Chain A
Amino acid sequence: MPTESATTPLLSLRGVNKSFGAVQVLHDVDFDVYPGEVTALVGDNGAGKSTLIKAVAGIYPFDSGELTFEGQVEAIHGPKQSSALGIEVVYQDLALCDNLDVVHNMFLGREQKSGITLDEAGMELRATDTLAGLSVRTLKSVRQLVASLSGGQRQTVAIARAVLWNSKLVILDEPTAALGVAQTEQVLNLVRRLADKGLGVVLISHNMNDVFAVADRIACLYLGRMAAQVKTTDTTHSEVVQLITAGRSDRTDAASVAEGQAS
């Protein structure tokens, strides 16, 4: 069903490789993220998911292969450059400062200033607008310390921070791993809203329920190779599990051909 794929991918990787010493972690990986869609990146531990996103985020470079962002071939040399392109990563261990409030955390490292002083009022307004734009209604105040937030609220703040910078691609590394049922629901709703606003979203997750709840496409890494990238509607729960554990499934070949992406 290639009708919806008519849009060009926001991010496109072609034949990327990455080795750490003698260990080759990524083998000729192709990966596409479309704007307005949630692309789930799944795979067992050590499949290369983190390596893939860290290279996209500019933590380290790919050894070879091509990265295209918005149709332009780009070479990302550092985290600053990937932020400048509009790529934001929300890491698993959150990277929020407990001793600062929500506004301070959202602007950390990129504070608005008026003269040499911080523009607190301006930052608070923008933070409030961004949260309202994401329909976040669970925070009592944007001036409360992050230490006092629940896991779901923290994840919300981390995601809102990624959105604040007019980012185009948001990569979420296991955003629901430590959350309860109600909070997972909250965060998944937020993930869906990001895509509905037109952003490209990459969701790394081990939880198949989460993946099937929000993802439009599922990309499955197996031992550093892209086993398949399929539409969620074209696949089933058990097929994805099979892809994760064995790297192939009975129906993958047909699905991959339909997508035009042989594994």
Chain B
Amino acid sequence: MSVDSSTDPMAPAVDVPSGLPPQTVSSALHDYVDKLRGGDLGSLPAALGLLVLAAIFSGMKPDEFFNVGNFANIFVQAAPTIVIAMGLIFVLLLGEIDLAAGFTAGTSAAVLAVTLTLHEWPWYLSVLLCLFVGLAIGFFMGTLVARLQIPSFVVTLAMFLALQGVLLIIIGDNGTIAVRDPQILFLMNNNLSVAMSWALAVVVVAGYAGITFRQLQGRRKAGLHAASTSVWAARVIGLAVVVAGGTYLLCLERGPRPDLKSIKGVPGVVPLILILLIGLTFMTNRTALGRHIYAVGGNAEAARRAGINVGGIRVFCFIVGSMMAAVGGILLASRQNGVDPGTGGSLTLLLAVAAAVIGGTSLFGGKGNVKDAVIGGLVVAVINNGLPFITSNAGATYIVTGGVLLIAASVDALSRRRAQSSGRA
């Protein structure tokens, strides 16, 4: 271990900062660069990758890829992956894996479809039961992992097989069960009205500005190191530009025959994803429970000695993972207008894992954010959306997605090494 510069007798002793001058825009940038150099890349590679991919596809196929209809399409394509990946992040934070998330989604969706269509339940009861199925699956797997200490790889691989069978049995001989409930179908097939879309945009930006400003004031009042108002304003304006730009594009007419049926507005699934993103981010970053999840993922023994219920946290994370998979299942059912034995199968799980890892969640546990799922999910969706315009060969899509996942995992492994070796901060 190299001797830290701050223990060097020649270096001036730096006091614990208290009442330092507020952070300016340039020092904020400087701190961010320092953080990157220390190996803490966060979502930056994924965000850059998203821009590069979008630029490549837009450049090569401006007509097919770069149009408003396709822009809206990407959100809808990404939605199930994003939602399942949000749940997987909780499991990945522990350093565990959930291979059954895809078929948890399929099984929950099948329960939803059977109760909705065959038993004509009201949609909210079906959704509740669907979420409960996710909860039960997560509780079962989490208990096996936490109490019996079976590796999660084995437990969830077994559940991957078993749930595939459960899905077949629930669906029965029909082969497919249609979903016709308008509330469920709205999510993936309809859009918010233009007025609602703009209202949503205003609420998002104002909410972000308000919450971050309150935090800033709180830190200033306590006399702690805080960002300056200009840094805060720059962040809010940046978000406002992105949100307003996206909303504007989505509110343009994108129907092929506007005279027959007008298609415009933010897709119905976007508010759902926003609510999940805000709720889960609040839980992970602002509550003691979330702090304990990171602690268990970072050093389970330290967490145990600090009096944290490590087993309970593990079970909880598997429950969150499986319930989010159930929500993903609802989206899949909505998109396919029904459920069949392949729902949640084939690439569903792999794309969700890829989304989480590409977004910047570490496979080694303890590092990651719910928002990683959104950025990673969009990257995966852009690849799957854009490549078919360039080549009709489906093989290419698989290869590129696999390659991007490997790159993301390599970035994760390398940044971890970098973080370990950077004895400085």
Contact = CB atoms under 8 A, between A and B. Distances in A.
B293 to A, nearest CB: 11
Contacts of B307: 79-80, 83, 109-110
A147 interface: yes
B275 interface: no
Interface string B46-63: 000000000000000000
Contact of B425 (A117, A122, A145): A145
Contact of B287 (A95, A96, A117, A142): A117
Interface in A86-110: 91, 93-100, 104, 108-110
Interface stretch (A21-29, A62-70, A131-139): A131-139
Interface string B1-13: 1011011110001
Interface string A137-166: 111111111011111110000000000000
B14 A140 contact: yes
B420 A147 contact: yes
B298 A99 contact: yes
B286 interface: yes
B308 A180 contact: no
Given A113-B288, A150-B1, A140 B425 contact: yes
Interface residues of B, number: 47
B366 A145 contact: no
A124 interface: yes
A131 B366 CA distance: 26
Contacts of A111: 288, 291
Contacts of B292: 109
Given A117-B287, A125-B222, A141-B425, A95 B4 contact: no
Contacts of A132: 15-16, 18
Nearest to A136: B16
A128 B221 CA distance: 16
A121 interface: yes
B120 interface: no
The size class of the interface chain A forms with chain B is 35 or more
A258 interface: no
A138 to B, nearest CB: 5
B149 interface: no
A8 B228 CA distance: 53
Contact of B38 (A110, A117, A128, A148): A148
Given A117-B287, A182-B3, A182-B7, A91 B16 contact: no
Contacts of B366: 97-99
A95 B306 contact: yes
Contact of B294 (A100, A140, A149, A152): A100
Contacts of A263: none
Nearest to B366: A99
B3 A148 contact: no
B419 A108 contact: no
B7 A149 contact: no
A118 interface: yes
B392 to A, nearest CB: 44
B286 A149 contact: no
B303 A121 contact: no
Contacts of A124: 222, 224
Given A110-B306, A152-B7, A180 B1 contact: yes
Given A95-B305, A110-B307, 19 more contacts: A95-B299, A98-B366, A100-B291, A100-B294, A104-B294, A111-B288, A121-B221, A124-B224, A132-B18, A137-B15, A138-B6, A138-B13, A148-B419, A150-B1, A150-B423, A152-B7, A153-B4, A180-B1, A182-B9
10 contacts: A95-B305, A96-B299, A108-B295, A121-B221, A124-B222, A128-B16, A132-B18, A140-B17, A150-B7, A182-B8
